[in-house]
Each structure stands twice: as structure tokens, then as C-alpha cells.
A and B are shown apart, each in its own frame.
Chain A
């Protein structure tokens, strides 16, 4: 198991490197010239242009730049946001050289990404709370009432809930709960995870991964419905509620836990749209802002960070699967 874990971790390294290479290449050939962005109006001055280009290290060959970028990434320096330069700041770029002296300020890519991550994480936490309470309950209900109208209704409505994109559900909920039935007065923005503003976005975010959890819970429970250990539990007079929670759910949660990867990527993708609709300054909003403004260094940071989350969760899922299901062994 230990050896297996190490081997899997090592096999992640080339994937992460290629992911970096792809984002770096896209950024390198991207439409924004960082030198022009740094210089602002001054960019037509050729001598100045060359000077700043050299200071930023952009006059070096592609491969050297990439290796430098990769080394810095692994060293924890994810580069600088273009907003740290802004016109007159080119003097600073020339004076201090690439990246030097900037880390620790709020314009460092890593600080920006990590700073915004908290908000997305809080939002995702609430979404997960909704999911764990409602989706698992619905899944259990559908399984217990297997092949009845209740089952079909639950499964069909979760297909509907998860198929419709967040940017359709979001506005619909806004129109219902703000315009028609004014439950919420202020919407949009972020005011901490315990404010009322967090409720609607978290619900919208929870819609995406709902189907996966309902389906997996249902499948898991259906599989153990007729098993001997369930019959024994019933035979010894255990109340039905306890049979379901203690015996059936515990086994049925394995497929749910193993779809963690799907749930995580659902939450990450969903946060892109939810944060856009509700104007929440999380990591998804940061990605779209910087993509549209051409601040590639930050956008690349977000993409890499999300890739890292995805591969890590997938690895965790595989390892957890081995830990939870005694039939699975890794060698």
C-alpha cells in the first residue's frame, strides 16, 4: 500500500509538468504582450521596450523561460500579476528584475490564488452540506422505494437539476426568491460564510453534483438491500431507521466517496458560473477576470492549481477505495 502510494505520487509528476507546459505554451503565444502591458503608453519607445523585455526575462528562448517558470513554480513563486506593474511600475520591474522583491505583496499569483480560494472553499463547504443532507436522503429514499413512482420522480428530478447549467438555475432562483417571493433582499457580493448572501449561491452550486450523489447512494443501497447482514440486523429486532443508517449507509457510502473526483470537479466548474452570477470574489471569478483582462500569469496559476486539486482528489479516491473496500488490494 505504501509503495503503491509512492508510485502513484511519482507518476503524477510528469502529468503536472506537461499540464504546466501546456498552460505555459498557451500563455506564451497568447494575445497579450506582457511588455506592452507593463509599459502602457510608453511601449513604442524601442529602447525602453527592449530594456523592460530583458528585465522581465522575455528575451530568452522559449525552453529556458519554461524551465525557469517551472523551477519557480515548484519553488513556490508562481509569478506576478500584470496589475503589479501598471504603467509607471515598469521602473520597478527594471530595477528589481523578474519576480524579485514582489512576493509577499497581494499581487503575487500564489497569494492571489490562495487568498481567493478561501471564499470558494467556504461556498463549496455549504454546497457539500446541502448535498450530504438532501442528495443522500433522496438517494436512500429512491433505493428503499425502488421502482416506484417515488424512485422515478427522485431520479428524474435529479437528472433535471444536474443537467441545467448554473447560469440558468441561478437567475431563475434570483427571480423567484428576490422578485416574486422576496425572501432575500441583498444578493451578490460576499459577506462571510454565515451571511444570508451565501445561501442562494451555495444552493445553486449544489445542483451540479447532485445527480452523481443521488445515483451512487441509490445504487449502493439497492446493492445491499437483500444482503444477509441487513436481514440479520432486522431479524434481531433493530429499528428500520438504524438498519438503514448503521448498516446499509455505511456500505453504500463507498461508491459515493469514490465519486469524490466528479463531485470536486463539479464544484470547481460550478464555482466559475456561480461566482460570476452572484459577483463573489472567489477563485472562479478570479479566473474569468484575469482571462478576459489578459493577466495570463494569474490565470495560469488558477488553472494549474485546479489541475493539482483534480489529480490529488483522484489519487485520494483511489487510495481511499483500497482502504474502504477490503476486497481491493494494491500491489
Chain B
């Protein structure tokens, strides 16, 4: 059938051949909101890598003579209640958000794919255990569980770090312990957010396995690995990519939420959520301090949601809404 089609193509004008990915890319480029999302994501990556070199201040540097200022030439977005440059802190907050998004997404994806695939392939008690674990995680109010985990483990991680330092002199930084907050947040959010991807992967594998083309492949004598690599992985990649994009935005949002509630990144670390709660008491007098990190957070979260929506339309054409 394919051979016949190919000869036909050579006889007549060769029509343009497109793969699924080319098709998806073209579909994505047509979606203006998704392009906005791509732009936001690229900007976030750029800022989180090069942020410290983009501004002349350090994110912890205080200037008590110039507190709560509005935008000026020296401080483009003004200064906060301790005289720290807002723009610098927002840039550093981008680094926090991106790092949390990246590591939590890697964590949940690895955990989700491994557990979901294990459940689908092994079945039996493995599958039952994975699904019950997902049910239990789902039964929790996720922000509260993540907040509880981070409060409980912050203390433990700090103790561990102090012991390591005493015994082996091993430490990353004497004065700044913000990296410990990062560790705690990574762990807490990964533990709370893995189940979506596990359920997705499991569902994809179980439904694909019943499809006729897999059955045909099996009837032709293909090995399990051929089926997995050539059919299961490429076919479940689309939904997984969408879930990863949305999850990335979700992880950043959760970090901001935890920091807003006071259980995430602690001062002097910079996080958009922490900046909002820090200045919330001053919304009447210095509204810009609350608005700026808020607007940046909103734009980034929106960008990732639009990108996720666009990718969903492009990669999963059978689910297209419109």
C-alpha cells in the first residue's frame, strides 16, 4: 500500500509530506495566544539564567534611605520596604520560579511515567498500589498537604545540613540558607503533584494497548520493546507534553502560593509569592509593590496555560474543541 502510494507520488507531482510534528508546529504557530506563551517561556528561561547580570544590584542588597520608592531611573520598578530594588528581586523571583518549575516537573514526570507505566504493564497488586496511592494523594487538599510537608521537613533538612557541616565541614553557603528552602519545596511539590501524570500515562498505555494497530503489530510478531518504542511512546507523547507544560506552570504557581502563605521560600530569598505577601500590608500606601510581582506572576502563569492549550490543540487533534 505504501509502496504503491510512493510510486504514484513519483509519477505525478510529489505532494508535500508532513510528519505529525511538522503539522503540530504549524498548528501551534497559527495560535496567537500560544505564541505569546512561547515568548513568555523563552523570556523566563533567559531571565532566570542571565538575571543577576541584567541589574546592577544584588537581590538581598538593602538601602534603608530609599525605601518604598516608586519607579525612578535608579530603580526602574522602585524599591521595597527594605530598600531593595524591585526589578532585581522580580528577576531573581523568575529564577526561583523557573528552578522550581523545572525540577518539580522533572520529578513528577519521572515518578509519574515510572509508576504509571509500571501499573499498566505489571498490573495486579502493583497497579492497585499505584492507583490507591494516587487516590489518597487526590483526597488531600493539595496546597495544605504541600504546606504541611514543607513545614515538617524544613526543620529536618536544616538539622541534617547543620550535622553535615559540623562533621564534614560540608556546606554550600554559610550565611544564605535559601537553597534549603528550594530543596524542601521541590520535595513537597513533587510528592503532591505526581499523580496526574501517573494516571495519564497509565490510561494512555491501557487504552493504546487495545487498539487495532497494536494488535496487528503483535500479530506480525513484533517484540514488546518494538511496540513500546515505536507505538506506545510516540502515541502517548502528545498528551504527556501537554501535561508537562501545564504542570510546569502549575508548579510555579504552587511555589508562589506556598511562599505567599509563608511556608515556601523564606526571606531573604526572592519569590513572587513571598514578595506579594511581604507588601500586602502596604496595598493602600504603595500599591505598586503588590502589583508588580502580581502582574509578572499572572503573565507567566497565563503564558504557560495558553501554551498548554495551544499544544493540546496541536498535538491531540482528536480532542480539539473548536
Residue B297, interface by CB 8 Å: yes
Q: Are A171 and B302 in contact (CB under 8 A)?
A: no
Other-chain residue from B145, B148, B257, B284 in contact with A167 (beta carbon distance below 8 A): B257
Q: Are B284 and A179 in contact (CB under 8 A)?
A: yes
Q: Are B149 and A310 in contact (CB under 8 A)?
A: no
Residue A6, interface by CB 8 Å: no
Interface size on B, residues (CB 8 A): 47
Q: Are A307 and B140 in contact (CB under 8 A)?
A: yes
Interface string of A201-240 (1 = CB under 8 A from B): 0000000000000000001000000000000000000000
Q: Are A164 and B148 in contact (CB under 8 A)?
A: no
Q: Are A171 and B148 in contact (CB under 8 A)?
A: no
Check A168/B136 contact, CB under 8 A, given A159-B306, A163-B301: no
Name the B residues within 8 Å of A156 (CB-CB): 33
Q: Are B148 and A23 in contact (CB under 8 A)?
A: yes
Q: Are A18 and B294 in contact (CB under 8 A)?
A: no
* Among B40-48, B107-115, B175-183, B260-268, the stretch in contact with A: B260-268
Residues 163 to 219 of chain B near chain A (Cβ within 8 Å): none
Query: What is the minimal beta-carbon distance from A220 to any residue of chain B, in angstroms?
Result: 13
A16 to B276, alpha carbons, bound, how many Å? 35
Query: What is the minimal beta-carbon distance from A269 to any residue of chain B, in angstroms?
Result: 6
Q: Are B276 and A171 in contact (CB under 8 A)?
A: yes
Residue A9, interface by CB 8 Å: no
Other-chain residue from B141, B152, B155 in contact with A269 (beta carbon distance below 8 A): B141
Other-chain residue from A147, A269, A299 in contact with B143 (beta carbon distance below 8 A): A269
Name the A residues within 8 Å of B273 (CB-CB): 167
Q: Are A167 and B294 in contact (CB under 8 A)?
A: yes
Name the B residues within 8 Å of A179 (CB-CB): 284, 287
Q: Are A31 and B290 in contact (CB under 8 A)?
A: no
Name the B residues within 8 Å of A276 (CB-CB): 260-261, 277
* Among A40-48, A66-74, A287-295, A321-329, the stretch in contact with B: A287-295
Q: Are B301 and A175 in contact (CB under 8 A)?
A: no
Interface string of B26-54 (1 = CB under 8 A from A): 00000001000000000000000000000
Residue B313, interface by CB 8 Å: no
Name the A residues within 8 Å of B138 (CB-CB): 310
Q: Are B263 and A291 in contact (CB under 8 A)?
A: yes
Check A168/B276 contact, CB under 8 A, given A19-B139, A163-B301, A291-B263: yes
Residue A22, interface by CB 8 Å: yes
Q: Are A303 and B144 in contact (CB under 8 A)?
A: yes
Residue B9, interface by CB 8 Å: no
Check A171/B139 contact, CB under 8 A, given A147-B322, A273-B260, A291-B148: no
Query: What is the minimal beta-carbon distance from A215 to any residue of chain B, in angstroms?
Result: 9
Name the B residues within 8 Å of A288 (CB-CB): 147, 261-262
Q: Are A31 and B147 in contact (CB under 8 A)?
A: no
Residue A242, interface by CB 8 Å: no
Residue B256, interface by CB 8 Å: yes
A325 to B257, alpha carbons, bound, how many Å? 38
Closest to B148 in A: A26
Residue A107, interface by CB 8 Å: no
Q: Interface size bucket, A side?
A: 35 or more
A174 to B306, alpha carbons, bound, how many Å? 27
A156 to B33, alpha carbons, bound, how many Å? 9
Other-chain residue from B151, B260, B287 in contact with A31 (beta carbon distance below 8 A): B151
Other-chain residue from B147, B151, B301, B309 in contact with A165 (beta carbon distance below 8 A): B301
Q: Are B253 and A165 in contact (CB under 8 A)?
A: yes
Closest to A160 in B: B302
Residue A194, interface by CB 8 Å: no
Q: Are A303 and B257 in contact (CB under 8 A)?
A: no
Q: Are A292 and B140 in contact (CB under 8 A)?
A: no
Name the A residues within 8 Å of B118 (CB-CB): none
Query: What is the minimal beta-carbon distance from A67 to any residue of chain B, in angstroms?
Result: 19
Check A299/B141 contact, CB under 8 A, given A167-B277, A172-B294, A175-B283: no
Closest to B159 in A: A31
Q: Are B143 and A272 in contact (CB under 8 A)?
A: yes
Residues 292 to 316 of chain B near chain A (Cβ within 8 Å): 294-295, 297-298, 301-302, 305-306, 309
Residues 1 to 40 of chain A near chain B (Cβ within 8 Å): 14-16, 18-19, 22-23, 26-27, 29-31
A172 to B283, alpha carbons, bound, how many Å? 9
A167-B273, A167-B277 known; 16 new pairs, CB 8 Å cut-off, are A15-B135, A19-B136, A23-B148, A26-B149, A160-B302, A163-B305, A164-B302, A165-B298, A175-B283, A179-B287, A288-B262, A291-B151, A303-B140, A303-B145, A306-B141, A307-B141
21 residue pairs from A and B, CB less than 8 Å apart: A15-B135, A19-B140, A22-B145, A30-B151, A31-B155, A165-B297, A167-B294, A171-B283, A175-B287, A179-B284, A179-B287, A219-B321, A268-B141, A269-B141, A272-B144, A273-B257, A276-B261, A276-B277, A303-B141, A303-B148, A310-B141
A-B pairs, top 5 by smallest CB distance, nearest first, are A31-B155, A168-B294, A306-B141, A164-B298, A171-B290
Q: B-side interface residues toward A, CB under 8 Å?
A: 33, 132, 135-136, 138-145, 147-149, 151-152, 154-156, 253, 256-257, 260-263, 273, 276-277, 280, 283-284, 287, 290-291, 294-295, 297-298, 301-302, 305-306, 309, 321-322
Q: A-side interface residues toward B, CB under 8 Å?
A: 14-16, 18-19, 22-23, 26-27, 29-31, 147, 156, 159-160, 163-165, 167-168, 171-172, 174-175, 178-179, 219, 265, 268-269, 272-273, 276-277, 287-288, 291-292, 299, 302-303, 306-307, 310-311
